[in-house]
Structure 1
Amino acid sequence: MAEQQAPQRRKGRGGRERILAAANALFEAQGINATSMEQVAAAAPVSKRTLYAHFPTKDDLVVGHLRELVESGRTLEGVFDRTDLTPEERILALFAAPGHEPIRGCPFIDAAAEFPDPASPVHEFAAEQKRRLATRLTELTSALGATNPTALAEQLAVLVDGAASRSMALNDRDCLEHAKAAAQALLAASTSATPG
């Protein structure tokens, strides 16, 4: 009798969240371009009408997915807001190995690669996040007293992105450790005591 009285999920409630959760799982498992809107609707589960009411185009869905990753703090960049870490610890935490297999790399790089037209909304959003990464790194390198915080931030951003891509392609956590060692060397060289 208890099984018959279990609450039913109301249609129309939480549809957007279910769509984004389904998109996240499918995009991660099979890639963005290989995932159809129909697959997302079926996995959510929502009607196509509901899916298109929330996300009129595939670009809208992908941008919504990426935006949700940012807002939820589920990307590496979520470490920037950790107040329990020093600026240097926040930077080095960007090279932490993920706790799952296979290694997925950076969702923004993945999205930009799957939407190569720089004018596409997805590519533009991904590029915006990469610029944001450099800006946040500049804030931290400034706090560390780096001699040229903007240049150091760009160097660190290249290391972060390169490590994410290489570790994903090789499914090898050691890539992240090598990049972390290079980041430590850059930080030490750029923040050493100023001549007195």
Structure 2
Amino acid sequence: MTHPRGRGARERIVAAAAALFEAQGITATTMEQIAASAPVSKRTLYAHFPAKDDLVVTFLRYVHELGLTAENALYDDEIPVRDRILAMFTVPVRGDGPVRGCPFTAAAIEFPDPDSPAHAYTRDRKHAFTIRIAELLADLGAEDPAGLAEQLAIVADGVSSRAMVFNDTGRADLGRAAAEALLRAEGI
């Protein structure tokens, strides 16, 4: 196994931030904790990430690119299209701490300024998420794929939020049932 110091400083910082954000939340995690966990000096940390917002955006890209979100299922060509849509109603479990819900929503909440980089990146990801759902719904022949995609995205976001609030990944089953009802109503 490679010792953490064997990786580049930037990579260690992102990995440490991801672990701490997952365990403690974004706001509760200090840059000092991240530097200590990486391990890097605060000077090195700030050389790579001048502001916490910059690190949060990199963290969000990291979880997205690694496929650690419910959105990942929408791109799995091995699964039938309808099943991909329903698969997004699985709350990803990352670590053995409490259910954290959607990292993008958490970032938007913790960076409420709509113009902040973390909030803007979240908005872009949520928009891309809804567009992807609409593409899949169009493949299934939905009459109004954009409208139905927005409804399903709202249900998915609600599942993620309620799973976090109640610390219960089983909330996804209720969301999946609601999604199935929406799809049946559309004849899909």
Partner Cα distance (2:134, 2:4) in 1: 46
Tell me how far 1:174 sits from its aligned partner.
3.1
Post-superposition CA distance 1:88-117 (Å, at most 9, x none): 111111112434552210000111111111
Counterpart of 1:4 in structure 2 is: none
Measured on the aligned residues, the alpha-carbon RMSD in Å equals 2.0
Partner Cα distance (1:79, 1:96) in 2: 9
Counterpart of 2:99 in structure 1 is: 103
Partner Cα distance (1:8, 1:133) in 2: 35
Q: Does the alignment pair 1:144 with 2:140?
A: yes
Post-superposition CA distance 1:54-79 (Å, at most 9, x none): 11111111111111111111111111
Letter in 2 for 1:178: L
**Aligned CA distance change for structure 1 residues 8 and 65 (closer, same or farther; 3 Å):** closer
Paired residues of 1:147 and 1:191 also in contact (CA < 8 A): no
User: Radius of gyration: which is bigger?
Assistant: 1
**Aligned CA distance change for structure 1 residues 10 and 171 (closer, same or farther; 3 Å):** closer
1:152 alignment partner, SS class? helix
Counterpart of 1:68 in structure 2 is: 62
| Unaligned runs of at least 5 residues, structure 2 | none
Tell me how far 1:18 sits from its aligned partner.
0.8
Tell me how far 1:82 sits from its aligned partner.
0.8
Partner Cα distance (1:117, 1:172) in 2: 29
**Aligned CA distance change for structure 1 residues 13 and 142 (closer, same or farther; 3 Å):** same
Partner Cα distance (2:90, 2:7) in 1: 37
Partner Cα distance (2:142, 2:86) in 1: 15
Match of 1:88 among 78, 82, 91: 82
Identity of aligned residues (%): 54
Partner Cα distance (1:114, 1:163) in 2: 19
Tell me how far 1:149 sits from its aligned partner.
0.4
Partner Cα distance (2:138, 2:165) in 1: 32
Partner Cα distance (2:89, 2:97) in 1: 16
Paired residues of 2:9 and 2:40 also in contact (CA < 8 A): yes
Counterpart of 1:31 in structure 2 is: 25
Match of 1:48 among 27, 37, 42: 42
Partner Cα distance (1:138, 1:186) in 2: 13
Partner Cα distance (1:150, 1:8) in 2: 46
Partner Cα distance (1:137, 1:131) in 2: 10
Partner Cα distance (2:145, 2:50) in 1: 41
Partner Cα distance (1:11, 1:187) in 2: 49
Tell me how far 1:11 sits from its aligned partner.
6.1
1:168 alignment partner, SS class? helix
State TM-score, norm by structure 1.
Answer: 0.88
2:29 alignment partner, SS class? coil
Match of 2:175 among 162, 166, 179: 179
Letter in 1 for 2:126: K
| Unaligned runs of at least 5 residues, structure 1 | 1-6
State TM-score, norm by structure 2.
Answer: 0.92
Paired residues of 1:16 and 1:54 also in contact (CA < 8 A): yes
